[in-house]
Structure 1
């Protein structure tokens, strides 16, 4: 197995545009960003408020828990992002590429390879898990790619009824699939990144929350 940290390009230009800036919330300042925005051809819905009732109808949450739905708009990419519960010892923000698609050799995915449950929508599925106030939901995003290697980014995060953006006392702490960072899908291999969502005391137990990320290749 070959694994290496998926470092972003050192010469990325400064971040421009409000959409990209908003997506940086929750990211470490040491991480590199890119100025390029999503291609004009990308068809993003970004409608968590409209999809939220579907999540509520199709799931149930205990009165002492909080349900977190993750919707990854990646239809413009040549893979469908998989979402697994992360290993207990995984470091948040850990990002690696592997020269294999065998998940038993992807250390950011646990041996149990337990995916999050999903709810179907007219677009991308909603992956969801439950947690409690102050307790993180930690997951690993996985992309297995067969074609030529290419770069992409996640451009924006929206949410309903909370998104965790630009708040002094946020309802959600998201450490994160960061807007503006450059990721690389390796040819015939696997990309993996660990992210974490933690509801704060501002969120009432029994609440369903939907977060939506948009992602696409870099615009040239």
Structure 2
């Protein structure tokens, strides 16, 4: 896979057995950010001009998804290897209903967690939340959304930048739900994963002909056994 994924790729919404959205979810209970009171403005221009914050209240009734981290976990395990002292984390961005395919890059070393910006260019060399040169996560292909993955150690965060690029009109969406297998880190008093945060209840905006970027991180805690492979799934839909 090339360093820059093919951002013009479009996925048709497939007719497959699906489940309806149950409700909003996104941030781990241990996070400093909540879906109702996000600490970070959802969209900020590259000139640091903040867009007024908006909060989503419900998912579109027509949205249908397949939240299947348990089903894709065997494929992720078979296609990858993880050192015995590390943890492999797969990122599956369920975005078939959106006009773009979410890209996942290693974040710059100095990136601020939950930083979210938009840019009027699709050249990643001009996107400050992506390192120069861009380093895309390795990818396992599936018959639906691909799984991007990286490794880290217990207690050390895996920090990535989510990127949306498309050529249509400016587009609003929200990540409504997070699931995972064997851990999802959501709504736990003592989470196996600390996730900061592609959050449910926040509206994100991808500028037409430009780039949206958000920095998130996943940290496995001591509840996770070294050598474990984890599949995380974020479900997104039009706002």
Q: Secondary structure at 1:203's aligned position in 2?
A: coil
How far does the alpha carbon of each residue in 1:96-126 deviate from its partner, in whole angstroms, 9 at most, with x for none? 0000011100000000201000111111000
Specify the alignment match of 1:14 in structure 2. Answer: none
Q: How far, CA to CA, are the matches of 2:155 and 2:218 in structure 1?
A: 10
Is the counterpart of residue 23 in structure 1 residue 44 in structure 2?
no
Is the counterpart of residue 166 in structure 1 residue 187 in structure 2?
yes
Offset at 1:45? 0.3
Which structure features the higher share of strand residues? 1
Q: How far, CA to CA, are the matches of 1:37 and 1:115 in structure 2?
A: 32
- Taking structure 1 as reference, are residues 33 and 158 closer, same or farther at Cα in structure 2, changes over 3 Å only? farther
Offset at 1:33? 5.8
Moved over 4 A (4+): none
Asked if the contact 2:27/2:195 (under 8 Å) is kept, the reply is: no
Offset at 1:18? 6.3
Q: How far, CA to CA, are the matches of 1:24 and 1:118 in structure 2?
A: 24
Offset at 1:43? 2.6
Unaligned runs of 5+ in 1: 1-16
Q: How far, CA to CA, are the matches of 2:27 and 2:87 in structure 1?
A: 24
Specify the alignment match of 1:100 in structure 2. Answer: 121
Offset at 1:145? 1.8
Unaligned runs of 5+ in 2: 1-20, 41-52
For these two proteins, the number of residue pairs brought into alignment is 201
Q: Secondary structure at 1:210's aligned position in 2?
A: strand
Q: How far, CA to CA, are the matches of 1:195 and 1:128 in structure 2?
A: 14
Specify the alignment match of 2:158 in structure 1. Answer: 137
How far does the alpha carbon of each residue in 1:119-147 deviate from its partner, in whole angstroms, 9 at most, with x for none? 11111000000000000000000001211
TM-score normalised by structure 1 residue count: 0.87
- Taking structure 1 as reference, are residues 136 and 78 closer, same or farther at Cα in structure 2, changes over 3 Å only? same
Q: Give RMSD over aligned pairs.
A: 1.5
